[in-house]
Amino acid sequence: MSTRDHAGRTIEDTETELLDAMRESDLVALDRLISDQLTFIGPDGAVLTKQADLDAHRTGATSFDKIDVLSREAAEDAEGGHTTTVANAVLRAAEGTVSVRLTWHREWRVVDGRWQVVSGAVEALADHFD
């Protein structure tokens, strides 16, 4: 049985909600879904905080034209849960549009009654996809 937060959402529901917020750079939803204590490792090895992530979406430094999910796994444990999502993504960057296959690994906890990402990482699996 899946753990539900106070809004009735499962970890799967919140992963979907987070991906939707990323596609739209929805700062309100991202703020709600990301823990204030977030530690996230980018594909270049840089460690990002929640504020850095929100700022990247706010300024357009992180901007997705598309995130097409290829696979997703979710599991829960005594501490919370984790998700792994593989997707073809199209990002807008200063140098133009980039197509890349990404894998996101996220650790989730129920914080203040709602599922939130507390840590994670993203890695590039391929520079482009067909």
What does pTM read for this prediction?
A: 0.92
In angstroms, rounded to a whole number, what is the distance separating the alpha carbons of residues 118 and 125?
23
pLDDT digit string (tens) for 9-60? 999 999 999 999 999 999 999 999 999 999 999 988 999 999 999 999 999 8
pLDDT digit string (tens) for 115-127? 999 999 999 986 6
> What's the pLDDT at 54?
96
Which residues have C-beta within 8 Å of that of residue 11, sequence separation ≥ 6? 2, 3, 74, 76, 80, 81, 83, 108, 115
pLDDT band at 92 (very low <50, low <70, confident <90, very high): confident
Identify the structural domains of the chain with CATH numbers, from first to last: 11-126 (3.10.450.50)
Tally helices (H) and strands (E) across the chain: 3, 6
